[in-house]
Amino acid sequence: MSHVITEDGTRIFYKDWGPADGQPVLLSHGWPLNSDAWESQALYLAEHGCRVIAHDRRGHGRSTQTWTGNEMNTYADDLATLLDALDLTGVTLVGHSTGGGEITRYVGRHGSGRVAKLVLVSAVPPFMLRTEDNPEGLPIEVFDGIRAGERASRSQLYRDLADGPFFGHNRRGDVPQGIRDSFWLQGLASGHRNAYECIAAFSATDFRDDLAGIDVPTLVIHGDDDQIVPFEVGGQRSAKLVAGAELIVYAGAGHALPDTEKQRLSQDLLTFIRS
């Protein structure tokens, strides 16, 4: 298996698909998943000539289950280690949910020297938690409830999320069992502490300054029936904070666009990468 080693000794697993000389694309996954969550898009983009990199965030999947570093600054630094090790330039960074926070913080901390474009898919920026200066956010009780579920029985929490709001199965009723089982399985491959601490990372990190500093073409894709990162909390506001950002709204779609809207998302990504 392919890994890079960070400064603190963490092994970050990654996949590298497609032609070595293809247009580079990096896919960053959501909580509590891993790079397998991007398989449909990775295969599609690689088959269409892109070089596709997809990694497991520290504490998730096949990467080291670290005790420390389960926050956005370290996630972004791990991403920098991966991009530097592979010497990727002109890369399109694509982040789903928590992964959208990771790539946004990467640009905020490390700049856009290696980056050609940015895509935020159902992403957590600009700031999910409701505070005095962020009244549009969600109340902390929402995230405390997720933390309580993570501590009580994370297996049941992941099952409840998969059967309910993550895919929108509670409203659609048409999400195949196998897709929901994959979420549960990937979730259980994460470290318990890592997944628990990542809840604060994706909810309580303020990305507003990071978004305002983005200086590369940016595409924001969000479903208007997202029950995890509501459109009004996430994509709608992010698109306004990034100068010149393009916004695509998937009418009636929920949070898990890489699965529920896989063909449309794959095509939209390829169109933007080639533009």
From CA 43, how far away is CA 103, in angstroms rounded? Answer: 21
HEC profile for the chain?
Answer: CCEEECCCCCEEEEEEECCCCCEEEEEECCCCCCHHHHHHHHHHHHHCCEEEEEECCCCCCCCCCCCCCCCHHHHHHHHHHHHHHHCCCCEEEEEECHHHHHHHHHHHHHCCCCEEEEEEECCCCCCCECECCECCCECHHHHHHHHHHHHHHHHHHHHHHHHCCCCCHHHHCCCCHHHHHHHHHHHHCCCHHHHHHHHHHHHHCCCHHHHHCCCCCEEEEEECCCCCCCCCCCHHHHHHHCCCCEEEEECCCCCCHHHHCHHHHHHHHHHHHHC
Query: Known catalytic residues?
Result: 97, 226, 255
Q: Other CB atoms closer than 10 Å to residue 71's CB: what's the count? A: 16
